[in-house]
Amino acid sequence: MKTKKSTKYNPDSPSAVSILQDIAVVVFSLAAVAFTARLFYRDVNKTLERSDKVQIATVSYKYKSVQRKFLDRSVWDRPVQYSPVYNGDIIRTAPLSEATINFPDQNVISVGANTMIQIFKQAQKDETAIQVDEGRISVQTAGAAMAVRSDNASVNVEKDSVLHMQKLEADREADSSGGVLRLSVEKGRAALSKTDGGFAEADSAAQAQGEILTEGTVVNAGGFGYEPGRADAAGTENRPFVSVISPAPEMKILNKNAAGKAAAVPFKWYSSFDDGSELIFETSRSRDFTQNVRRVSVTGLKELTLDEQPGTVYWRLYAAEKGPEDASSDSGKFTVLAAPPPVILEPASDRRYVYKEALPAVRFLWKGNEVCSSYVLEASSDPDMKNPAVTKQVNGESVSFVLPRDGTWYWRLTPIYAAEDETSRKPTPASVFYIEKQKTFAPIEQLAPGKIADTAEGKSVTFSWKSVSEVKKYLVRVAKTEAMNNPVLERSSDINYYELKNAAKALPNGTYYWTVEGLDKNGERLTASAASSFKTRDSEVILRSLFPPDNYVLADTLCLDTRFTWKTNLQGEQRFQVSATPDFSSPLLDIKAQGSGIDGLMLERGDCYWRVAIKSEDETFHTPAKKLNVAPALPRPELIGIGDSVVVRPDAKTTFAWTAVPLADYYQVKITEPGLDSQPLYENLYITGTEVKMALQSIREGRYVIHVQAFAAATVTSSRRHSFAADKTFDLKHLRPVELVSPVRGARISGVDAALKPGTLEWNSVEKPVKSRLVLEKVGKAGSIISVSNPDYTVDLPPLEAGTYRWRVSAATEDGLDISSVRDGTFTVLPIPPLEKLAVSSPEENETFSVNFFKTNRSIVFRWKKNADATHYSIKLYNAKNQKIFEREIEANEASAAGTAGECAFTFTELAKLSRGTFSADIRAQRRLKNGLLFQDGNASVRHFVIDLPQTKKVETDDTGVLYGR
């Protein structure tokens, strides 16, 4: 039957041609994508350089990158590290990025994150000008003055000054379209002025409207319409703020202390908040302040010093009422860099170099740190290092060179850091070494080969010796006679060894002598060694000791059981030898041995040396001498604090302690009844410490014995060891301690009651102790407040200040049992709260005293509501600059007598201390003891008032004209 052929398409069976076509399309597409991505990456990260402009500075960055735009172009590029900066360039940093711009005159600009500046450096002028559009910068003028401008405010930073500038965003409600400049002078001086034009007008403007800012000054300057001392009511500059003057926001701090010691970082800030406003200072190791956060209240302070280990530390300073995110706060970071002083390694102190003709090259080696960019090495023949003969700047940690002459030399290092100016560099102490010229040299010291040179199976023989610095070439000779006649081998070497390969061919079995000569650069002999003999053997000799190893410590109790072993392929008489000296000049034991070991020996305690000697044919072979220490038993431990009686306290474990035994790894402790065959009531066979705590409440009273024994485990270099047991017989008795009744543990007592109406300490016991002592202490304070022997069950307390206190009663019964209190009693005296704020009734807030008032009054009366607890009142007056102009403390009776019922008053008559302007009065209640000591201070009540007097006019004089005569 004829069937029809199937021609249906089957997608599961693609042809090989279609598969190759698909692969080709995919590969081509991926290649196109990769090529396009590469072109895009190159375009984004392109760095441009100019040949038509003169470089004025270099820019470097950290964390991400920076962008730069030339003055005459519209394209931003990304400069690489240390790229050139040209006149008019605009530099912009990204979030979390930092940049540093270094000028040839040693001036430095540190650019913070999210900052954009423009740099101008005209060829005909030395001064550099910076335009700040946004962000934060720090300017350090080490070499020349620098002008900084933002909007229409200009700052002329003098030489050797440090200025920090931050441009804050202006409020939307403010009339000014520009921002607010926050300026702080960390060092030196700067002139702040208003300008209307470009930088060319800055100098004249500064002379006309300049305000001098000195070290420690912090100001807020409005963007437009700035006038010193005045701003809009809605401006940011009128609001209180804090500003850190030092350190700089991105400062690098070098920790030159020894490794492990923290660096001291001093902080200094300015605050326009009220003195009573709480300021919070925080540091953290993370940018979001989630790791290692330290929080300190710095209310009333202007400075703070922190001790910080190497790493980056973030900080922020803010008012507690505003929070860290408020515009009034300040934040930044600094990095502590570990920069320990370099350690001089070579030449070591008092080292001597010798030479015959040519001065040797001296290698200087030291251990530096990763932060140091280079080192200045100085060498001088003067210990004061004045006018050094050699001064080299080295980038690494070693250098070699020839000094100009011999004699005594001193050298030192001065590390150079990029973040440090020249005046702060500190050299290391000078180290001394000597270069001496000698006519003759000591003989060369030969090192190898030894008495036997193994030449079996084509092995090499190495001839080595100690090198001589003056020698340029060595000559090795080998002969059959000690007179070195007719040498069988003569080789030269530039180094202090020579390897003779396949030595059996040149040196068949026999006895040989060898010498080495040292030649100078001209081939003349400087020194030589004596002839040294050795034998060659083309069959390997095996003779080595195995156990005990060298410097082994063997317990004397295990000496009989220890087997000394060795391995050899020699035939002949074997002898086991022990000596008190390593050269076996004082033999202690010399016996014949069989096989490969010996045991059953009893050696004296102390150090000795052992070896195996085998006489084969006409030659005697020895194993190297190995040191052995036969040690006695470990010292017996001494029990600590275990008397004839042991008192078991309820709910507490009894501690047995002993002294540590040197070399002991663990201890075994047992408690038994008296008698040799007694079973242990307690047993612990492995205790690594020097004490053990036992719960003995279930053991009945009676007489027992404690046994403590020390053990040392076996190691590679020592056998196991143990000590004799320390035994102590004691009487075990149960105890009921005294009870601390009042105050109860954890009680909280009012600070006022503790000072004015102190309470009592109460305790009791079931059995009246014959000897007792009550002690009261304040936690954190040395010494005791009460220490009474044999007190009553109730003891009166003295007046106590705020804090935590603990007290205890130590007591003993007639038969000597300790019934002291188990736990210390504790109680807390709370701080004394401040007195309430006074209600001031006169003058009213912002009350104005005009000319009409002073025509009829020669004083100002302050009135407030009486505080029943106050014994005194304090009144202080401050002017508009927050400067105190008056202070008086008056008794409550005196203030009450001057006022009406329930009211106090004070009459201020020193009107000469007042002037035109706004003043504030700080009035608070105080409570003092009879001796005058301030016991309880009050919260301040602040009342502002205005003195409105006519402003005096400026006196003008007539022109005197030209005067003649004398």
* Residue 961: predicted pLDDT: 67
**Are 265 and 221 within one domain?**
no
Domain boundary pick from 631, 660, 687: 631
Q: Are 804 and 779 in contact (CB under 8 A)?
A: yes
Q: 952 in a domain, yes or no? A: no
Q: How far apart are CA 241 and CA 799, in angstroms?
A: 43
Q: Please, what is the Cα angle at 924 between 921 and 926, to 5 degrees?
A: 150
Q: pLDDT confidence of 523, banded at 50, 70, 90? A: confident
Q: Is it the case that residue 173 has pLDDT exceeding 80?
A: no
748 with 789, same domain: the answer is: yes
Q: What is the pLDDT of residue 578?
A: 93
Distances (CA, A) of 643 to 510, 727, 892: 76, 12, 64
Q: What's the mean per-residue pLDDT of the chain?
A: 84
CB proximity list for 922: less than 8 A, separation 6 or greater: 874, 875, 876, 877, 878, 940, 941, 942
CA angle 330, 334, 335 (to 5 degrees): 165
Query: Which residues are within 8 A (CB) of 148 and not within 5 positions of it... i.e. 6 or more apart?
Result: 129, 130, 132, 137, 139, 154, 155, 157, 163, 165
pLDDT at 504 over 90: no
| Separation of alpha carbons 319 and 278, rounded Å | 6
- CATH code of residue 122: 2.60.120.1440
What is the C-alpha to C-alpha distance for residues 874 and 532, in angstroms, rounded to an integer?
100
CA distance 446 to 444: 6
- 793: in domain: yes
Rounded Cα gap, residues 446 and 497, in angstroms = 10
The predicted model scores a pTM of 0.44
Cα–Cα distance measured from residue 293 to residue 177, given in angstroms and rounded to the nearest whole number: 38
Q: Is the pLDDT of residue 587 over 70?
A: yes
Q: Is residue 603 part of a domain?
A: yes
Angle CA 543–546–552, to nearest 5: 130
Please tell me the predicted confidence (pLDDT) of residue 609: 94
Decide which of 385, 410, 437 is a domain's last residue: 437
- Rounded CA Rg of the chain: 46
Q: What angle do CA 667, 672, 675 make, to 5 degrees?
A: 120
Asked whether residue 226 carries a pLDDT value surpassing 60, the answer given is no
Domain that includes residue 933, residue range: 840-947
As a whole number of angstroms, the distance between CA 661 and CA 635 comes to 6
Angle at 649 between CA 647 and CA 655, to 5 degrees: 70
* Nearest-5° Cα angle at 682, 681 to 683: 130
Residue 27 neighbours by CB under 8 Å, 6+ apart:
none
Q: What was the pLDDT predicted at 564? A: 93
pLDDT digits (tens, 9 = 90+) for 696-712: 888 888 899 999 999 99
* Separation between Cα atoms, residue 267 and residue 254, nearest integer Å: 15
Is 648 found in the same domain as 571?
A: no
**Proportion of the chain above pLDDT 70, given as a percent:** 90
- The answer on 131 and 168 residing in a single domain is yes
With 0-12 / 13-18 / 19 or more C-beta atoms within 10 angstroms meaning exposed / middle / buried, residue 812 is: middle
- Considering the domain architecture, whether residues 255 and 318 belong to the same structural domain is answered as yes
Q: What's the average model confidence in pLDDT over 204-225?
A: 64
Task: Assess whether 151 and 207 both reside in one domain.
Answer: yes
Q: Are residues 366 and 453 in the same domain?
A: no
Q: b or e along 313-329 (b: 16 or more beta carbons within 10 Å of the residue's beta carbon)?
A: bbbbbbbeebeeeeebb
pLDDT tens digit sequence for 462-471: 999 998 877 8
Least confident of 379-383, 755-759, 948-952: 948-952
pLDDT score of 14 more than 80: no
Q: What is the mean pLDDT of residues 408-436?
A: 87
* 3-state class percentages of the chain: helix first, strand second, coil last, to nearest 5: 10, 45, 45
Judged by average pLDDT, the poorest of 42-51, 247-256, 674-683, 759-768 is 42-51
| Angle ∠(124,128,131) on CA atoms, nearest 5 | 125
Whether 663 is covered by a domain: the verdict is: yes
Q: Grade residue 498 by pLDDT with cuts at 50, 70 and 90.
A: very high
Q: 124 pLDDT band (50/70/90 cuts)?
A: low
3-state helix/strand/coil string of 199-263: HHHHHHHHHHHCEEECCCCEEEEECCCCECCECCCCCHHHCCCEEEEECCCEEEEEECCCCCCCE
For the beta carbon of residue 942, count every other beta carbon within 10 angstroms.
16
Structural domains counted in the chain: 8
At residue 885, does pLDDT exceed 80? Answer: yes
Q: Is residue 904 part of a domain?
A: yes
199 pLDDT higher than 90 = no
Q: Are 118 and 136 in a shared domain?
A: yes
240: how many CB neighbours lie within 10 A of its CB? 13
Eight-class DSSP state of 563: -
Q: What is the structure's pLDDT at 391?
A: 92
Question: What does the pLDDT read at residue 355?
Answer: 78
Domain membership flag for residue 2: no
**pLDDT confidence tier of residue 210, bands split at 50, 70 and 90:** low
Residue 429 CB contacts under 8 Å (≥ 6 apart), including other chains: 412
pLDDT for 44-98, tens place per residue? 556 666 667 888 888 887 766 788 888 888 788 888 878 899 888 999 988 878 8
Q: Are 664 and 684 in contact (CB under 8 A)?
A: no
- Out of 194-203, 444-453, 475-484, 842-851, least confident range: 194-203
Q: Name residues whose C-beta falls within 8 Å of residue 765's C-beta, 6 or more positions apart in sequence.
A: 736, 737, 738, 739, 811, 819
228-237, 430-439, 650-659, 749-758: segment of lowest average pLDDT? 228-237
Asked if 78 and 171 sit in the same domain, the reply is yes
Task: For residue 33, give the DSSP letter.
Answer: H
Phi, psi for 23 (deg, rounded to 5): -60, -40
- CB atoms under 10 Å from CB of 67, counted, come to 17
Determine the pLDDT at residue 625.
92
Query: Residue 841 pLDDT > 80, yes or no?
Result: yes
Q: What is the pLDDT of residue 136?
A: 87
The model's confidence at residue 208, banded by pLDDT at 50, 70 and 90, is very low
pLDDT digits (tens, 9 = 90+) for 342-377: 999 999 999 888 777 778 889 999 998 888 888 999
Distance CA 139, CA 163 (A): 5
Q: Is residue 188 part of a domain?
A: yes
The string of DSSP codes covering 605-651 is SEEEEEEEEEEETTEEEEPPPEEEEEE-PBPPP-EES--SEEEEPTT
Q: Are residues 112 and 177 in the same domain?
A: yes
The CATH number linked to 713 is: 2.60.40
Domain membership of residue 963 (yes or no) is no
Alpha-carbon distance of 850 to 860, in angstroms, equals 12
Give mean pLDDT, residues 813-823.
81
Q: Answer whether residue 628 shows pLDDT above 90.
A: yes
pLDDT digits (tens, 9 = 90+) for 126-150: 778 899 988 888 898 888 889 998 8
SS3 792: coil
Spell out a b/e string for 446-469, using b for 16 or more CB atoms within 10 Å of the CB, else e.
beebeeebbbeeebebebbbeebe
Note the pLDDT tens digit of each residue in 310-326: 899 999 999 999 999 98
Q: Which residues pair with 58 in a beta bridge?
A: 84, 102
Q: Does 449 sit behind a cis peptide bond, omega within 30 degrees of 0 on the bond before it?
A: yes
Q: Is the pLDDT of residue 230 over 60?
A: no
Could you give the CA distance from residue 37 to residue 31 in angstroms, rounded to a whole number?
Answer: 10
Residue 440 clears pLDDT 70, i.e. is over it = yes
594 burial level (CB within 10 Å; 0-12, 13-18, 19+): exposed
**167 or 806, which is more confident?**
806
Contact by Cβ (8 Å): 593, 576: yes
Residue 225 pLDDT > 70, yes or no?
no
Residue 207 confidence (pLDDT) above 50: no
The Cα 304–Cα 308 span in angstroms is: 13
Identify the three-state secondary structure at position 308.
strand
State the burial class of residue 775 (Cβ atoms within 10 Å of its Cβ: 0-12, 13-18, 19+).
Answer: middle
pLDDT of residue 231: 36
Asked if residue 648 lies in contact with residue 654, where contact means CB atoms within 8 angstroms, the answer is yes
CATH number for 794 = 2.60.40.10
Structural tokens at position 125: 């002028």
A 10 A CB-CB count for 118 gives 18
Question: E strands within 55-205?
Answer: 55-62, 66-69, 76-77, 83-86, 90-93, 98-102, 108-111, 116-120, 128-141, 146-150, 153-157, 161-168, 180-187, 190-194
Q: Which residues contact 450 (CB under 8 A, 6 or more apart)?
A: 534
Q: Is the model's pLDDT at 175 over the cut of 50?
A: no
Residue type, 651: D
The Cα-based distances of 770 to 738, 739, 765, 786, 790 in angstroms read: 13, 16, 12, 20, 8
180 and 91 co-located in one domain: yes
Q: Which of 661, 667, 707 is nearest to 688 (CA)?
A: 667
- The letter for the amino acid at 267 is F
φ, ψ of residue 404 in degrees (nearest 5): -70, -20
CA distance 137 to 463: 68
Q: What is the mean pLDDT of residues 858-862?
A: 90
State mean pLDDT over 900-911: 86
The DSSP 8-state label assigned to residue 475 in this structure reads E
Burial of 138 (0-12, 13-18, 19+ CB in 10 A): buried
Partnered with residue 271 across adjacent β-strands are 242
Tokens linked to 881 = 């600059």
Asked if residue 129 and residue 103 are part of one domain, the reply reads yes
Domain final residue, candidates 239, 263, 281: 239
CB 93 within 8 A of CB 112: yes
Strands, E assignment, 256-339: 263-271, 279-284, 294-297, 303-308, 311-319, 330-338
Please tell me which residue, 200 or 326, carries the higher pLDDT value: 326
